[in-house]
Chain A
Amino acid sequence: MAIGINTLGLYQQGSSVLHRVSAWAKLIGLVVLGAASIWLQSRWWLVLAVLGLVVVGYLVAGFPVGLMFKQLRPMIWLLVFIAVMNWWSFDWQRGIAVPGMIATLVAAAGLVTLTTPMSALIDVVVRAVGPLRRFGVDPERVGLTLMLGIRCVPVVAGLASEVREAQIARTATHSFRAFAVPLLVRALRDADAIGDALVARGFDD
């Protein structure tokens, strides 16, 4: 699979150990961490220790620690809220452990996303759905559908800006409905055209 699509995601190129470890190993590590979180959460200092390990992970991967905080920034107020609520309902130890564990898991998952090319993750998905073959799931089709979805993001974004420009040119309104209806109708027509192209190019073969 080509490297091209990886430039669309959050992946950051590098040559560290974490970049070289297989996608499977990293994902299994994440699952193990998630499973262990129930046990880890009962000791607040253990949570902080694991969080420290994740910080080390970012440094090993060659990322600044700021990149880790960037993963957590969108949920920072929710984390503060959770800390206060857990402290208030239980004790201060849980006020640290519960939001700390969430931050650890999110930061660790972010590390996997940042160090694993998207094509490697798609390969994992395609292989992982292999056993579902007997239920009528075609793994190759799953992979192609993912690629098609990724491909549609810039198409629809381009469509949205065209519709927006037309709306400003014609009516100068900011009505969401006057934007969304033409966008969706054009998207439906584009989907028809894409469907035609898929059929013409043998997608169903």
Chain B
Amino acid sequence: MVHIEVDHVGHRYGQGALARQVLDGVSADLTESRIGVIGHNGSGKSTFVRMLNALLIPSQGVIKVNGLDTASEAKKVRRLAGFLFTDPDTQIIMPTVAEDVAFGLRKSGLSKPEIAARVDELLERFGLSGHREHPAHLLSGGQKQLLALASVLITSPQLIIMDEPTTLLDLRNARMIGQVIGELSQTVVLATHHLHLLDDFDRVLVFDSGRLVADGTPTEAIAHYRRLMEV
């Protein structure tokens, strides 16, 4: 189980006249296994989920993941928490499918056959076995996102943070990725505009103009979000 503590977190970009407060006074104590994050573009939700993985260090307040402060123990936090980005094209690092999945294990001390076995297992699970040696950029959009997820799962993180992973996909692939997310045994924090993905979630946070404006069950939170849209 993963415990995320968010304590009076704020974030400001830039200096002087160009400064923008993108997150302000956010506090939450998250222990659920399915947590959704919703809000308009520019509401601060992307900034927020980036902070959970120490990709961004808050300029005010503290975030702790399982007691680890993201500011001082960023590498440990990242080992615990994998991150799935919106655009699968920018998160594939290595030229071929198998090499990319194996990337996270290059310093694990595992032998080559052991790494290959784990890669094969994940490719099998996501139906990518036939593409083992293919150049990663030739996969379809949905397959690329599956590859990205496999590359995250290879290091066995306890928490997977996702920033709009279905936004660039067509409906069929978005549904497929949604199904895969539902089957994960790990804790998931999912920022998304595809509200139906959150139906079975335990808790949903709503962001608006950098503030956490609602926090509750999917039904309550989505109702609040819809009211925001009408204003």
Could you tell me which A residues sit within 8 Å of B by CB distance? 1-5, 7-8, 140, 144, 147-148, 150-151, 154-155, 158, 190, 193-194, 196-205
Contact = CB atoms under 8 A, between A and B. Distances in A.
Interface string B108-151: 00000000000000000000000011111100000000000001
B135 A7 contact: yes
A2 B85 contact: no
Contacts of A2: 96, 98-99, 132-133
B87 A4 contact: no
B93 A200 contact: no
A194 B99 contact: no
A197 B87 CA distance: 10
B53 A200 contact: yes
For the complex, would chain A's binding face be called helix, strand, loop or mixed by DSSP majority? helix
B87 A193 contact: yes
Contact of B135 (A148, A154, A202): A154
B104 A202 contact: yes
B133 A3 contact: yes
Contacts of B78: 199-200, 202
Contacts of B75: 202, 204-205
Interface of B: 50, 53, 55, 75, 78-79, 82-83, 85, 87, 89-99, 103-104, 106-107, 132-137, 151-152, 155
A196 B96 contact: no
Given A201-B103, A201-B104, A202-B78, A151 B93 contact: yes
A201 B92 CA distance: 10
Contacts of A3: 133
Contacts of B135: 4-5, 7-8, 154
A203 B96 CA distance: 17
B79 to A, nearest CB: 7
B93 A193 contact: no
A154 B90 CA distance: 11
Given A4-B99, A200-B83, 20 more contacts: A2-B96, A2-B133, A3-B133, A4-B134, A5-B135, A147-B95, A148-B94, A151-B94, A154-B135, A194-B91, A196-B55, A197-B90, A197-B93, A199-B55, A201-B91, A201-B93, A201-B104, A201-B151, A202-B78, A202-B79
Report the 4 A-B pairs with minimum CB-CB distance, sorted nearest first: A4-B96, A197-B91, A193-B90, A200-B83
A193 B99 contact: no
Nearest to A7: B135
Given A190-B90, A201-B91, A202-B104, A5 B96 contact: yes
A193 B92 CA distance: 11
B186 to A, nearest CB: 15
A199 B135 CA distance: 22
Contacts of A190: 87, 89-90
Contact of A150 (B91, B95, B132, B134): B95
A202 B155 CA distance: 10
